[in-house]
Amino acid sequence: MLRLARFLLAPLLLTAIALLTLMLTSHPASPPAVLAALGERPLVIAHRGGKGLWPENSLFAFERASALGVDMLEMDLHLSSDGELVVIHDSTLERTTDGQGPVAAQSLAQLQALDAGYRWTADGGESHPYRGQGIRIPSFAEVLERFPDKPKVVEIKVPDVGMEAQLCAMLQAHGQRDLVLVGSFYERSLQLFREHCPGVATSAGPGSVRLLVALDWLGLGGVLSPSYQALQIPERHSGLPIASAGLLHTARERGLNVQLWTINEQPAMRRLLDMGAQGLITDYPDRALQLLGRSTRIGALGE
């Protein structure tokens, strides 16, 4: 027994010293310009422009969500066959448009000839009020041009095709580096984007979220020096709860802005805000704005 204790003492001591050193040298994230400019109030983020209210990822949706008074527009990026960044969620066209097949197989002109309002329905398919209304898949350049002052959450949906460098160059060219928060389900895309675009805000990738959850569970959140500025998480994943008061507290302690997706019902919005969420990514930004006592009236269209 004594021999076992002696055997374990050195590694335990070394681990304790390493953790203490990490804790003493760790530093929290600093609020990025895009979020600092929005102040302290809970953020209402229109998921895909507010897909419960109008056709997702369209200029129409972004215009109306902006006029509604949301804080940020969330959108997804793919690449067309001729190398243009386009704003669409799925890798295929069937769910949201009258087109078929992979997004990546069509040029920007071909994608823009499709009806991006074709499938939207609020009554389970009884009616399609946005069919034939000229709603198109926008290029990312169009979104940047149309909303030069609007904060955006931009998600890289395809890794390994060079979108990271292209996205960075476009943000630079449009003077919107400080207006975006970039996220992705691909850790390698986020790492590459951070290399190309140091200083532009990013959210935690899946690996970083797992690490944060593990550290929080072990009570070791204090060792973390995040390379990202926001935590965007669902309340549950694969049936398991992720968001907890403890995790949200730890994340905020590490300087992270905590945003929950996709929160569509007001009781859940209230509960998560009370738990410490700082942003709600929602298909129904009108409900979040109403809950927060902010106007739900559509104001002047455009910026």
Of the pair 7, 206, the CB lying nearest ligand G3P is at 206
Residue whose beta carbon is closest to ligand G3P: 261
Minimum CB separation of residue 69 from ligand G3P in Å reads 20
One-letter amino acid for residue 55 of the chain: P
CA-CA distances (angstroms) from residue 104 to 81, 99, 137, 221? Answer: 5, 13, 13, 40
Among 56, 71, 155, 283, binds Ca ion (CB under 5 A): 155
Indicate the DSSP class of residue 203: B
The reply on whether position 155 binds ligand G3P by CB under 6 A is: yes
Alpha-carbon gap, residue 140 to 208, rounded angstroms = 27
CA 63 – CA 283 distance, rounded (Å): 15
Which of the choices ligand G3P, Ca ion, none does residue 183 contact, using the CB cut-off of 5 to 8 A by kind?
A: ligand G3P
SS3 readout for 104-156: HHCCHHHHHCCCCCCCCCCCCCCCCCCCCCCCCCCEHHHHHHHCCCCCEEEEE
What is the pattern of x (binds ligand G3P, CB under 6 A) and - over residues 106-135? Answer: ------------------------------
Using CB under 6 A as the binding rule, whether residue 232 contacts ligand G3P is answered as: yes
Q: How far apart are CA 235 and CA 263, in angstroms?
A: 8
- Please pick, from the candidates 53, 66, 72, 74, the single residue that binds ligand G3P as defined by CB under 6 A: 74
Instruction: Identify which range of 93-101, 111-119, 155-163, 283-291 contacts Ca ion by CB under 5 A.
Output: 155-163
Check residue 261 for interaction with ligand G3P (CB under 6 A): yes
Number of chain positions touching Ca ion (CB under 5 A): 2
Query: At its nearest, how many Å lie between ligand G3P and the CB of residue 15?
Result: 35
User: Among 65, 263, 281, 289, which residue interacts with ligand G3P (rule: CB under 6 A)?
Assistant: 281
Which tokens is 229 given?
């500025």
Q: Is the peptide bond before 202 cis (omega within 30 degrees of 0)?
A: no
Q: With residue 74 as reference, give the H or E element that holds it.
A: strand 72-79
Nearest residue (CB) to ligand G3P, 68 versus 75: 75
Other Cβ atoms within 10 Å of 6 Cβ, number: 9
Candidates 42, 99, 183, 285; binder of ligand G3P (CB under 6 A) is: 183
State the number of binding residues for ligand G3P (CB under 6 A): 10
273/211 Cα distance (integer angstroms): 23
Residue that is written with structure tokens 């960075």 in the block: 168
For residue 74, the minimal CB distance to Ca ion (Å) is: 6
Using the minimum distance from each CB to ligand G3P, give the nearer residue, 188 or 297.
Answer: 188
- Asked if 216 interacts with ligand G3P (CB under 6 A), we say no
229 lies in the binding site for ligand G3P (CB under 6 A): no
Subset of 65-124 contacting Ca ion (CB under 5 A) = 76
- Judged by CB under 6 A, does residue 56 bind ligand G3P? no
Between residues 209 and 281, which has the closer beta carbon with respect to ligand G3P?
281
Alpha carbons 143 and 147: distance in angstroms, whole number: 6
What would the DSSP string read from start to end of 226-279? -SSSEEEEESEETTEE---HHHHHHHHHTTPEEEEE---SHHHHHHHHHHT--E
Q: Would you tell me which residues interact with ligand G3P (CB under 6 A)?
A: 47, 74, 76, 89, 153, 155, 183, 232, 261, 281
